[in-house]
Amino acid sequence: MTRCYIFLVAICLFVPATLAQAPATAVCDFDSSAQLAVQYQATSVHTSKPVFGHDIPYNKVWAPGGEPMTMFLNHEVTVDGKNIPIGAYTMFVIPAPNKWTLIISRNTDTSGKYDESKNLLRVPMQWGELSSPESVFSIYFAQVTPGQCTMRVDLEKSRAWVDFKKKQ
């Protein structure tokens, strides 16, 4: 009986922690042969109090969930007019009031450590306010045209976005 109780307690403690840190994936299908995929931690926050500028500091490199987002490309793309070759990358964001910056890094270490010397590029993101707060950090793609997707990043009352275009 004691073993069963200990097992149940262990399961109750382990499973919610595991589920809270389960990676999520967002995919842009430019066409049938070109994709961009982003894997990230769908981190939850309490929207009853301000998150940005407090738990998530402004103007500092941030890896949601303590791990950088990972981006996989099977076709070259451009973002903000800059080329990104086929490959795997990590991504970070720098949230700030009314603007965000996306960092795409050549580093593929997902331990959460940011190394500025590995930056491929920094891109300003457009920013807007959501009508209702989002308690879970989420990324999704909106297909703008067959060769262009907008990556949208939502958390709390913030939405930041940037366009990725398939390189012709």
pLDDT for residue 157 is more than 70 = yes
Query: What are the E-state strand segments in the chain?
Result: 23-31, 34-41, 69-73, 77-79, 82-84, 87-96, 99-105, 119-145, 148-166
Q: Mean pLDDT lowest for which of 16-25, 29-38, 78-87?
A: 16-25
If you search the block for the tokens 């997707």, which residue do you land on? 149
Question: What pLDDT was estimated at residue 48?
Answer: 83
Cα-Cα end-to-end distance for the chain: 65
Coil, helix or strand at residue 9: helix
Q: With 50 as the cut, is the pLDDT of residue 34 above it?
A: yes
pTM of the predicted protein model: 0.85
Q: Would you state the pLDDT for residue 18?
A: 37
Which pLDDT score, from 0 to 100, does residue 146 have?
A: 87
Q: Above pLDDT 70, what percent of the chain?
A: 88
**How do residues 120-137 score in pLDDT, each as one tens digit?**
999 999 999 999 999 999
Model pLDDT, residue 63 = 95
100 or 18, greater pLDDT: 100
Mean of pLDDT values over 88-98:
96
Joined tokens for residue 47: 């929207």
